[in-house]
Amino acid sequence: MIIRNADVVLKDGVKKLDVRIENGIIAELGEGLKGEGIDCTGLTVFPGLIDMHVHLREPGFEKKEDIASGSAAAVKGGFTQICCMPNTRPVTDNKVVVSYILSRAKEVGLCKVRPIGAITEGQEGKNLAAIGAMKAAGAVAISEDGRSVANSNLMANAMMYAADFGLKCLCHCEDASLVDGGVVNEGYYSTLTGLKGSIRAAEDIMIAREICLAESLSLPVHICHVSTYSGVQLIREAKARGVQVTAETCPHYFTLTDEAIASFDTNTKVNPPLREEKDRLAILEGLRDGTLDCIVTDHAPHHFDDKNVEYNLAAFGISGLETSFALSYTQLVKGGVLTLPELARKMSANPAAVLGLQGGEIALCAPADLTIVDLNEEWTIDPNDFVSKGKNTPFAGRSVFGRVKYTIVDGEVKYREERA
Q: Is 18 a catalytic residue?
A: no
Judge whether 196 and 143 are in contact, CB under 8 Å. no
Contact in structure between 174 and 137 (CB atoms under 8 Å): no
Q: Which member of 172, 302, 303, 307 binds Zn ion (CB under 5 A)?
A: 172
Q: How far is the CB of 157 from ligand DOR (least distance, A)?
A: 22
Q: Which of 298, 382, 385, 410 is catalytic?
A: 298
In angstroms, the Cα distances linking 350 to 222, 247, 346 are 12, 10, 6
87 contact, one of Zn ion, ligand DOR, none, CB 5-8 Å limit per kind: ligand DOR
Q: HSE of 396 in the Cβ direction (CA atoms, 13 Å)?
A: 16
Closer residue to ligand DOR, CB minimum distance, 255 or 371: 255
**Minimum distance between the CB of residue 31 and Zn ion, rounded to whole angstroms?**
43
| Residue 108 φ/ψ, nearest 5 degrees | -65, -45
Cβ–Cβ < 8 Å for 359, 40:
no
Cβ distance to Zn ion smaller for residue 37 or 59: 59
CA dihedral 273, 77, 81, 71 (to 10 degrees): 90
**Residue 317 binding: pick among ligand DOR, Zn ion, none (C-beta 5-8 Å cut-off by kind):** ligand DOR
Binding of Zn ion by 145 (CB under 5 A): yes
Binding at 70: pick from Zn ion, ligand DOR, none (beta carbon under 5-8 Å per type)? none
3-state helix, strand, coil in the chain (%, to 5): 35, 25, 40
Decide: residue 377, CB within 10 A, 0-12 exposed, 13-18 middle, 19+ buried: middle
Bridge-based pairing of strands 2-10 and 13-22 is: antiparallel
Q: Report which residue type is found at 37.
A: G
Q: Of 120, 190, 271, 393, which lies in the binding site for ligand DOR, with binding defined by CB under 6 A?
A: 271
Find the binding residues for ligand DOR in span 169-228 (CB under 6 A).
Answer: 172
- Nearer CB in complex with Zn ion: 340/354: 354
Nearest distance, CB of residue 70 and ligand DOR, angstroms:
12
Angle at 322 between CA 320 and CA 324, to 5 degrees: 60
Q: Does 255 bind ligand DOR (CB under 6 A)?
A: no
Phi, psi of 345 (to 5 degrees): -65, -45
- Interaction of residue 87 with ligand DOR, rule CB under 6 A: yes
Quick check: 145 binds ligand DOR (CB under 6 A)? yes
316 binds ligand DOR per the rule CB under 6 A: yes
Work out whether 317 is an interface residue with ligand DOR (CB under 6 A): yes
The closest of 48, 53, 1 to 406, measured between CA atoms, is 48
368-to-4, 64, 301, 334 alpha-carbon distances in Å: 14, 31, 29, 27
The C-alpha atoms of residue 36 and residue 33 are separated, in whole angstroms, by: 10
Nearer to ligand DOR, 15 or 89 (CB): 89
Q: Which residue is nearest to Zn ion (CB)?
A: 172
Q: Which of 79, 10, 76, 6 is nearest to 38 (CA)?
A: 6
CB of 47 or CB of 86, closer to ligand DOR: 86
Q: In terms of Cα–Cα distance, which of 394, 65, 387 is closest to 257?
A: 394
Site string for Zn ion, 265-304 (x = CB under 5 A): ---------------------------------x------
Question: CA–CA separation, 364 vs 220, rounded Å?
Answer: 30
Site residues for ligand DOR, window 343-382 (CB under 6 A)? none
Name the minimum Å distance from CB 87 to Zn ion: 8
Region binding Zn ion by CB under 5 A among candidate stretches 27-35, 132-140, 143-151, 252-260: 143-151
**Please, which residue, 65 or 361, has the CB nearer to ligand DOR?**
65
Q: How far is the CB of 22 from ligand DOR (least distance, A)?
A: 40
366: three-class secondary structure by DSSP: coil
Query: What character string, x for contact with ligand DOR (CB under 6 A) and - otherwise, covers 33-62?
Result: ----------------------x-------
Instruction: Pick the closer one to Zn ion by CB: 145 or 306.
Output: 145
The residues that touch Zn ion, with contacts defined as CB under 5 A, are 145, 172, 298
The residues that touch ligand DOR, with contacts defined as CB under 6 A, are 55, 87, 145-146, 172, 270-271, 300, 316-317
**What is the set of active-site residues?**
298
